[in-house]
Structure 1
Amino acid sequence: MADGRALGEVFLAACAEHGDRRAVVGGGAELTYAGFAALVRERARTLDALLGPGLVNVGLYAANRAEYLVSYYALLVAGRLPFLADAKFGAAELAGIRTSCGVSAFLHDGAGPFPLENRATAVPGSSLTLALLPATATGAPAPRAATATCRFTSGSTGLPKCLEFTAQAVVSAARTWVAGTGLGPDDRVLCLAGFTNGLAFNTSLLPVFLTGAELHLYQGVPTSGGISRAVARAAATRLVAFPLAYRLLATAPRPDLGAFGTVTRAVSAAAVLDPGVRREFEARYGVRIADYYGVAETGPCTYERDPGRTEGLGSALPGVSVTVVELPTGESEVRVRTASMAAGYLNAPGAFAQRLDADGYYRTGDLGRLADGRLFITGRLGGPINLAGRKIDPTEVERILLALDAVADAVVFADADANGETVLHAALTAAGRITRTEVLDACRADLAPFKVPGRVTFLPAIPRSTVGKVRVTELRRLVADARAGGADGHSPELESNG
């Protein structure tokens, strides 16, 4: 049996403490802490009746809104085990979660069909639908008795790994964030990240409620105008978002500067923020961006508290130990140890333990250094592309491509030519009219010849998870389809009109 009730009790205790204070705002919903708790208890009773005693593992597959929060905490209060699945997961990933984790029930947005065969059951009082999948013998391992919540890695390649977290680990992550960042009851947090991602899970899903602050939800496609309007409506004191959001705001043609008058800090994570974007955003809006470094498996690790610092990812949060270990290759790997670390991978037994060193530090796979107590990430193990003995950092090429006005998104990856030789491949989404020749000319102007992509493919969109990470398997499929259709960008005359 899962240990969700322990986490649910922490949440209900926070609601009892903060009573009539406003807790959640978004999508037309506005809940006080007392009202939030009442809805959670009612939903827990409803789900108990629908699920019966046998269905403990329940997937939550929906976009950010108040309904998501009510259902998540209701599952915990009811003693169920929530599996937080990325809303961008498709049928293959959901089928993998079903068979490898033993999840045969999913709560999902009722507006569209669930990707797998199921028996749909309406959830009274909710806009979510319960999808009950046909019974099957999966042989999936049983979760640990102390597991309270399960989350997934991005699933960019292969089957998403399922992370098991105890109630103690989740609460520890929340309290670490509160203590390390000064989150307080007067804060109004606008969160753009999906709750399945560590950025939102560790900064917003529980920490806000422990302190009696307000959580404001963003819905829809993020645009500079949409974000600015949401900030103004919430009178937000904190903005939690991925680097893409700050890039949109920094390059907005008509920025709403007044909307950010209440914001005291903006939090960025998942990728190192481009220094140019940081400078432009902070100069425009007068708001400091605080970098945050965390790992899905370990929870929050570092945060920049000093407003005078504009480089690096900050120093270790309370109770977190960060070290850098020199490897036999001469590279320096970042390793972390936290009280919010996962207990293991449910669907990859033993794999998590292999990532821990003899001192219990998690091997992040990130390359970096510590300077004056601050963490600097310099790359990834195995990150550079080896092209005929030359090491190429794909992000360097991507920066050149993204600087083009007619390019909306880009990713550079290693591909193979007809002879099986490695070739640099650039996949682009156009925002205007641009040719392959113009793309290559821009690269040749700023890059060494061996860094110029050998292939260019235009796609309607780059497939990304809610974290913003490229979904590599899907990307390669889309590129193959484009090439088969004659739109792979090999012809100098090929153009994209966005």
Structure 2
Amino acid sequence: MRDRQLDPIVREACARFASRTALRQGDERLSYAELADRSARLAVVLDRMLDAGTGPRRDRVAVCARNSVDYVLSYLALLATGRVPFLVDVAFGENELEAIRTGCGVTAFLVDAGTADRFPLPGTVTPVAGGGHALVTVEAAGAPPALLADTAVCRFTSGTTGVPKCLEFSGTAVFSAARNWVEGTGLDGTDRTLCLAAFTNGLAFNTSLLSSFLVGAELVLHTGPPTSARIARAVADSGATRLVAFPLVYRTLAASDLATARLARLDLAISAGAELPAETRARFEERFGVRIADYYGVAEAGPCTFERDPGYRRGLGTPLPGVTLRPRRRPDGGTEILLRTASMASRYLNAPGELEGRLDADGYYRTGDLGHLEDGRLFVTGRVAGVINLAGRKIDPREVERVVQAIDGVRDAVLFADTDADGQITLHMAVVGDRPLARADILAGCRGRLAAYKVPQRVSFVAEIPRSSAGKVRINDLRATVAASAGAGPDTQTPTRGRESMR
């Protein structure tokens, strides 16, 4: 069967819901008819710009920009030209972008016009007429790897431990993710979704973009710092019925002094990307009377589970339509979650064979998440690769992090494996404080709550934990941050207060 093409799906939706509001950003509103018209006109402009010069036709274009009306227009315009959009995290730096240039053959980047002169790769900058983006063209790095014939969109893993892997998705996979989200969560044309996650991440891409268009719903985009007051104002002004965000947003809102009426029309809050602390959930729901529904997704597989039951507060929900979960016992005694979905990526463009190698004989993807099912509901308890082996003892970093994060004055904390002067593995805790803290405070908070061998041997205080747009720790950047803070000694006694990152 011929693969589903995304451009006709979007155009059909725009024609069917022509008079409804499709996009809202601040005071700017676009109806579905206007969305179709403006993206079509932009497609002509981009087609002309990308075909300029004597080189080969650029069939792949990276969108490396923040969420905005211009972002959605550029994305839809690229689909209309028949090109493949590569959705690139704005948090990526020179190393990641260079890897995308050389490993994926991307030589054209659409970026926010105001930041084009600071784009990390050298290239030619051309403003896009009538829009908020600029086109940066860079030098090619040899023959690009061929895309699969049915690839419609490419997104990237977070690159937390190295080069981001480029995921190829067919149009059928993207459509299936959106359709199954609509069916599995009850999204309809009366909904207004306020999206605080970047479209480069599956949380936003799968829950907010095409899914909204399929049913004629309204998508609300947030600009500016995501402070509690700004978020509340965006919810109130837009009349949003759904909020899509990472746990840090809910933590900020729960700890704020906002009047509960500011979120009065909100029916559902959706959280994913990291574990939502039980105390954050309880405080948010008690204050605002809005349920937080957990969503579990995998970059390589799309949306997987959603908590449909309003009265349930444990686990990560049950499988969405088109999703099958299969727990499998490992030789080490743990149970890994395997899954198969209708929205699976086809492969990694820049790592041939690696994705295929994570599939079992039945096509189930090995997630690397440890967990189990109870009455069909998914519980994730740890990571296969995340376990630290300390002299034969297995330590789950998340267990230690939860204890440290509960210490008064700790805003964020990450445990990672380090080595001492003798090359032996040690437990190193990076901590962000809300007030001056000392190593002794952290150790005192761990002792009695953790086995002695789980207590961190090293503690470093940093201004901020480097994270991707999905909230995942960028471990290489974290190691560099910790190294830079070592000037005050191996365990800095008084942390520098940093601003809270909520990208």
Q: Secondary structure at the match of 2:109?
A: strand
CA distance in structure 1 between the aligned counterparts of 2:259 and 2:113, rounded to whole angstroms: 35
Q: Which AA in structure 1 matches 2:152?
A: A
Shift of 1:370: 1.1
Partner of 2:326: 323
What are the equivalent positions in structure 2 for 1:378-457 lying under 5 Å apart? Answer: 378-444=381-447, 446-457=449-460
Partner of 1:96: 99
Partner of 1:297: 300
Classify 1:122/1:487 alpha carbon distance in 2 versus 1 (closer, same or farther; 3 Å). Answer: farther
Q: Is the 8 A contact 2:105 2:141 kept in 1?
A: no
Q: Which AA in structure 2 matches 1:370?
A: L
Classify 1:328/1:445 alpha carbon distance in 2 versus 1 (closer, same or farther; 3 Å). Answer: closer
Classify 1:265/1:497 alpha carbon distance in 2 versus 1 (closer, same or farther; 3 Å). Answer: closer
CA distance in structure 1 between the aligned counterparts of 2:397 and 2:255, rounded to whole angstroms: 23
Shift of 1:110: 1.6
Q: Secondary structure at the match of 1:13?
A: helix
Q: Is the 8 A contact 1:4 1:77 kept in 2?
A: no
1:161 aligns with 2:165: yes
Shift of 1:452: 2.0
Deviations along 1:74-101, one digit per CA (max 9) or x if unpaired, are: 0000111110001100010000000000
1:78 aligns with 2:78: no
What are the equivalent positions in structure 2 for 1:236-251 lying under 5 Å apart? Answer: 236-251=240-255
Where do 4+ consecutive residues of structure 1 move more than 3 Å?
493-498
Q: Secondary structure at the match of 2:402?
A: helix
Deviations along 1:378-424, one digit per CA (max 9) or x if unpaired, are: 11113222222322222222223322343222211111111111111
Q: Which AA in structure 2 matches 1:128?
A: H
Q: Which residue of 167, 173, 180 maps to 2:177?
A: 173
Classify 1:16/1:350 alpha carbon distance in 2 versus 1 (closer, same or farther; 3 Å). Answer: same
Partner of 2:203: 199
Partner of 2:11: 12
CA distance in structure 1 between the aligned counterparts of 2:422 and 2:231, rounded to whole angstroms: 47
Partner of 1:368: 371
Which stretch has the larger CA shift, 455-464 or 191-200?
455-464
CA distance in structure 1 between the aligned counterparts of 2:354 and 2:38, rounded to whole angstroms: 38
Classify 1:318/1:479 alpha carbon distance in 2 versus 1 (closer, same or farther; 3 Å). Answer: same
Deviations along 1:109-166, one digit per CA (max 9) or x if unpaired, are: 12122110010011001111100102331x4311111100000000101111000001
CA distance in structure 1 between the aligned counterparts of 2:30 and 2:265, rounded to whole angstroms: 22
Q: Which AA in structure 2 matches 1:210?
A: L
Shift of 1:495: 4.8
CA distance in structure 1 between the aligned counterparts of 2:314 and 2:404, rounded to whole angstroms: 24
Classify 1:497/1:178 alpha carbon distance in 2 versus 1 (closer, same or farther; 3 Å). Answer: closer
Partner of 1:486: 488
Classify 1:497/1:157 alpha carbon distance in 2 versus 1 (closer, same or farther; 3 Å). Answer: closer
Contiguous gaps of at least 5 residues in structure 2: 499-503
| TM-score, scaled relative to structure 2 | 0.94
Deviations along 1:163-187, one digit per CA (max 9) or x if unpaired, are: 0001111001100000010000000
Partner of 1:45: 44
Partner of 1:477: 480
Which stretch has the larger CA shift, 278-287 or 399-408?
399-408
Q: Secondary structure at the match of 1:351?
A: coil
Give me the CA root mean square deviation: 1.7
Q: Which residue of 233, 237, 249 maps to 2:237?
A: 233
CA distance in structure 2 between the aligned counterparts of 1:221 and 1:440, rounded to whole angstroms: 34
Which stretch has the larger CA shift, 426-435 or 370-379?
426-435
Classify 1:48/1:4 alpha carbon distance in 2 versus 1 (closer, same or farther; 3 Å). Answer: farther
CA distance in structure 2 between the aligned counterparts of 1:135 and 1:179, rounded to whole angstroms: 42
Contiguous gaps of at least 5 residues in structure 1: none
Q: Which AA in structure 1 matches 2:312?
A: R
CA distance in structure 1 between the aligned counterparts of 2:421 and 2:404, rounded to whole angstroms: 25
Partner of 2:314: 311
CA distance in structure 1 between the aligned counterparts of 2:396 and 2:225, rounded to whole angstroms: 30
Q: Is the 8 A contact 2:418 2:425 kept in 1?
A: yes
Shift of 1:5: 9.4
Partner of 2:25: 26
Partner of 1:115: 120
- Count of residues in Structure 1 that have an aligned counterpart in Structure 2: 491
Q: Secondary structure at the match of 1:190?
A: strand
Q: Is the 8 A contact 1:463 1:474 kept in 2?
A: yes
Q: Is the 8 A contact 2:432 2:495 kept in 1?
A: no
Q: Which AA in structure 2 matches 1:161?
A: K
